[in-house]
Structure 1
């Protein structure tokens, strides 16, 4: 009888010990809870992105399906006046002036900012890291934190009068927008270029110097070539930032929905037309649908910029 009780007690203890061993610890439960919260946040962000894309697409495509505007005429048309119809009864909704203005300002500002960004990054990482970190890094961070409206006011009071004095015209136009965007995207391109240069392994530099290369030869032929994918990513990211900028460009570009005839002629971008016109239209009207179509073009270009960035980053990872 005692042996039977002992056997039952032993079986009970084994089951209790097994249950304790299989029971999740507090740390494991907290880890599982953290994973659940992270997955929920990821799902919310993903759903928000898809909801924005679907919403903008549904509004933007109304111009082509509800108002029967030809998409080719929309993208290549040179006259922007959606409230007026032409001789054939079609709305004059030509987005080419805004698309051209956006691309011209973006490309020119990127071309202007890239040499300054690369030169600053080389000084901060290769020539004088201590002075660069002490002087240029705080300045770069300060430029990032300045609001867009401040850049716009500075452009309105400094850049526009300077362009008017040096090149003539009203001062409003592509050139003024380029100068303002150049200053705005410079810290972004610079900081990302610095990260790309710092990611180059140190033994690359040591090997080049050991083979007899000078400091400038090492920078030009080794460091810059190894950091090329990261630098290209920085440039494309800066272009995406410039392409989507609205307020500062709107204040200095002139907001004339015309094909740019010169760097000092007033022009417009997708964002400037959107910000000035969206509040003056009725939801569901042709004018409102045309503006949503511009927003769809802007969103599509932003997605393309992000895709290019990912492709460059993937190619850079494969070459390492």
Structure 2
């Protein structure tokens, strides 16, 4: 094969890879600009303030181009935040414990049984989680707490915790496996027990990777729509307790966007919600990058 042919193949391959990379960058920028333009219509076209959108308690946007309604999205934002945080509180202990078990306590069992099971959990569609939660978890919560209905923040949080469990577990396990074995050997050499090594050496050494896993799990929980919509109750009221039905950003967008008039105030408010979700996802990614850079700097 001549050098010219090799050079042309190298040039073609490098050009295709570069083109694909640039296409992803351009697509991301295009989506960002599109969301920024459509999401800002609530404030530019219809004259609502950012404080009203973020902290207002009344959600009654007009489904027309005249406007004049109320676009207080605080109840949706609060529902998303509370549901996601409770899901984290439930999932993180189980995820980190599972990651430690499959990497340091019983690696053989973890490799053959638990890791494949965790991967299966990650591949289950969200509608399946929502359906199981609706027919099993919701009636159980209703009966246990003697409620008029079991759809609630607690039900949504439990479903979300199961959904983000595989993500946090897998990334935490990878972070724990990357810890230098010499740290553990040194701790054992000083007479530390296995629990002391795990608690005082292993977890602190892997904490940046575990934090990254938690943020990714939070991002997944914050952006989930279908499963949450099936079990949260979709009541347009500020959440008062974990057992009360509520609403969230993703469920509101999924349920109302299809029927909202294009160019109307309701449509613009829903695009503002989408922009808010996009900004939150961007902040989660920035947090992950900062954690990774700080870890490399300290390495």
TM range (shorter): over 0.9
CA contact (8 A) 2:62 2:264 kept: no
Q: Which moved more, 1:152-161 or 1:208-217?
A: 208-217
Cα distance in 1 between the residues matched to 2:31 and 2:292? 25
CA contact (8 A) 1:60 1:296 kept: yes
Is 1:151 the counterpart of 2:129? The answer is yes
Match of 1:164 in 2: 142
Shift of 1:79: 1.1
Q: Which moved more, 1:171-180 or 1:31-40?
A: 31-40
Match of 1:70 in 2: 49
Match of 2:91 in 1: 113
Correspondent of 1:293 among 253, 268, 272: 272
Match of 2:81 in 1: 103
* 1:209-238 CA distance string (max 9 Å, x none): 122222111111111110000000000000
Match of 1:197 in 2: 176
Q: Secondary structure at the match of 2:62?
A: strand
Is 1:51 the counterpart of 2:36? The answer is no
Match of 2:255 in 1: 276
Shift of 1:179: 0.5
Match of 1:249 in 2: 228
Match of 2:238 in 1: 259
Cα distance in 1 between the residues matched to 2:73 and 2:10? 52
Q: Secondary structure at the match of 1:83?
A: coil
Cα distance in 2 between the residues matched to 1:252 and 1:148? 12
Shift of 1:319: 1.6
* 1:40-96 CA distance string (max 9 Å, x none): 0011000100111111111110010101111111111111111289xxx84211000
CA contact (8 A) 1:84 1:92 kept: no
Match of 1:14 in 2: none
CA contact (8 A) 1:69 1:91 kept: no
Match of 1:3 in 2: none
Cα distance in 2 between the residues matched to 1:167 and 1:80? 29
Cα distance in 2 between the residues matched to 1:73 and 1:290? 11
CA contact (8 A) 1:109 1:179 kept: yes
Match of 2:60 in 1: 81
Is 1:60 the counterpart of 2:39? The answer is yes
Cα distance in 2 between the residues matched to 1:254 and 1:125? 39
What TM-score comes out, normalization by structure 2 length? 0.95
Cα distance in 2 between the residues matched to 1:300 and 1:268? 20
Cα distance in 2 between the residues matched to 1:141 and 1:151? 15
Match of 2:105 in 1: 127
Greater relative contact order, per chain length (Cα 8 Å cut-off, separation 6+): 2
Q: Calculate the aligned-residue CA RMSD, in Å.
A: 1.5
Shift of 1:25: 4.9
Runs of 4 or more, structure 1, over 4 Å off, are none
Q: Which has the larger radius of gyration?
A: 1
Correspondent of 2:208 among 229, 234, 238: 229
For structure 1, list consecutive stretches of 5 or more residues without a partner in the other structure: 1-22
What TM-score comes out, normalization by structure 1 length? 0.89
* 1:144-203 CA distance string (max 9 Å, x none): 010000001001001111111112321111000000000000000000000000010111
